[in-house]
Amino acid sequence: MGKHTIVALDDFWVSPPPDFDHEIIEYATTGPDQLVERMKPATIVTTAAMKVNRAGIEAAEDLQLIICTGTGSDHIDKVAARERGVTVCNVPAQNTDSVAEHAFALYYALRRHVVELHHVTAAGVEWSKGHVFRRLDPPPRVNSEETLVVVGYGAIGKAIERMGRALGMQVLIAERKDAQQTREGRVAFTDAIRQGTILIVSAPLDASTRGMIAGPELAVMDPTARLINVGRGGVVDEHALAQALKNRKIGGAATDVFETEPATAATSPLLEAGVPNLVLSPHIAWYSSKTKQGTLETIKVNLEAFVAGQPINVVWKIPTLAATKLYFSSAATAHVSATLSRPSLAILASPKCH
């Protein structure tokens, strides 16, 4: 029976049972200079955040499937995958609550100056002088005074809306920026940006959303408004945002995502010294016990379905099964599917994308 070679570029897996018939090669992380060599033996690749480019895809001569262990797939060269007849699938909707909750964690940290006040309190000087409350000036709003604008109305955006309403906020759903008409229940993009006191971005990155919030959008925002990005780096122009914060054009910002990750001061102006009213986290909004368990289950189901010739959660699929380089006879496929279904084959992954 033919075997699959599964290469996990940046995941961690539970060891397979003794009778598992396929090879797993796992790496905690993979650098760009290691990608080509590591992908060469793969028939299946899993990736959380590692960019899988044309060179890697072309180096893996027997590659059949790429599994993104989260929702996002913008780190895969889907043109190269299409040309090679490689199926790309993802793990959708497992991190919804985690990302939405993290957005509000960033919001409260920003609104209440939590990080700044932690350092002030730990220093043990300013509090004794009795003026520490001035760190919060102008006085922050309470939930019922906020107008929350949701930019990106997928599963995460809907969860953000639900949580915002539960907190007593007025919630507006921004229409797509390039929309010709405004749908019922939505507000025209620029009008929403103008009205919001909080903007939470949960939009994916594609050609229509890259740079969607830049200088012109920041310029029309309420000067006390706060912007939170838990969508994708690149949706918000980092240079324009850093400049708006330095010039006090908006009240503050927080982001979990960056155009280049891992971000450093050399790659992102948001990490440079002197940017005020800013809270950062390292693309960790997705991580929770619920996300992890759901991802494990979905990856296993993705593998089972692909081996059975009926791939699911497909981002890009080869046009016909005839184009697939099948490694299994019908009997072998049935055996592998049964093997993958065993509880002992709990395949773990680190689903960084969302």
Tens of pLDDT, residue by residue over 125-180, are: 999 988 888 888 889 999 999 999 999 999 999 999 999 999 999 999 999 999 99
pLDDT digits (tens, 9 = 90+) for 50-60: 899 999 999 99
- Across the range 72-81, mean pLDDT stands at 91
pTM, 2 dp = 0.81
Task: Determine the Cα–Cα distance for residues 282 and 226; give it in Å rounded to an integer.
Answer: 19
Number of Cβ within 10 Å of residue 189's Cβ equals 20
Average pLDDT along the chain? 87
CA of 193: how far to CAs of 40, 157, 187, in Å? 47, 16, 9
pLDDT digits (tens, 9 = 90+) for 276-286: 999 999 999 99
Q: What are the structural domains, with CATH classification, of the chain?
A: 4-90+290-318 (3.40.50.720), 95-280 (3.40.50.720)
> What residues are labeled active site?
232, 261, 283
Residue tagged 């509090």 (tokens): 127
What are residue 150's DSSP bridge partners? 173, 200
In the predicted structure, residue 215 carries a pLDDT above the cut 80: yes
- Across the range 191-213, mean pLDDT stands at 97
